[in-house]
Amino acid sequence: MSFQIPEWLRYEIREKREWLAAKLLDVRDWLNRQNPKVIIGITVVTMLVFIIVVISLLSGPEVPEVKEYTKAWFYDLNTGTLFAAKKGLIPPIEAPSGPLPDGSPAGVKAHVFTFTTEPNESERFIGFLETTDPNAEIEFGASGSRKIDSAASWGRGKLFRRVEDAKWISGSSREGRAILEEALLPNENGKRALYCQPK
């Protein structure tokens, strides 16, 4: 059984609607006869507001420029210093100081972090170093960059170590993941480390 509006309520609604329509017609007639300037003024103001809204929507907020970095940090194993080189190079690479005593390149990737947004040199720190595992089979994509399938396989084919360590650890091992997690621990104020790009 559906709900039916009582006849008396329908009559009341119809009466009120007709009364409101009559009043609106009276106001419109009064404005047209007595004050055509008011109608023109309202129309002009409405059009101006409409134009301003359209222009503001089309121009929109300024999109911040995303800075794309073309360099990455590397660490010179001979001198213990950071240097910047082209992003995407696979370590080890040639270092400014030359090769290691065994003749291999002395430049390894450095993962540099900071706890401030605009760090100076003293506010940066090296979380860990990275190089390529010479014994690992690594797939390379068409661009020559390392092919990685997922975050879980990120450490595969890589060796990690802290700056003060002498031994390289497999990036996919438990110890390798511990080095990564240690570098990303919050400081004493609870702030998380931010990756620091070279300029």
pLDDT band at 34 (very low <50, low <70, confident <90, very high): low
Helix (H, G, I), strand (E, B) or coil at 22: helix
DSSP letters of 58-70? HH-SPPPPPPPP-
Query: What is the per-residue pLDDT across 83-94, written as a single tens digit (0 to 9) for each?
Result: 999 998 999 999
Query: What is the per-residue pLDDT across 56-97, written as a single tens digit (0 to 9) for each?
Result: 877 767 767 777 778 999 999 999 999 999 998 999 999 999
This prediction has a pTM of: 0.60
- As a whole number of angstroms, the distance between CA 168 and CA 80 comes to 16
Percent of the chain whose predicted confidence (pLDDT) is above 90: 31
For residue 85, the model assigns a pLDDT of 92
If you average pLDDT over every residue of the chain, what do you get? 82
Least confident of 1-15, 81-95, 182-196: 1-15
Phi, psi dihedral angles at 194 (to 5 degrees): -110, 140
Can you give the residue ranges of every domain in the chain? 7-59, 71-195
Cβ atoms 49, 137 nearer than 8 A: no
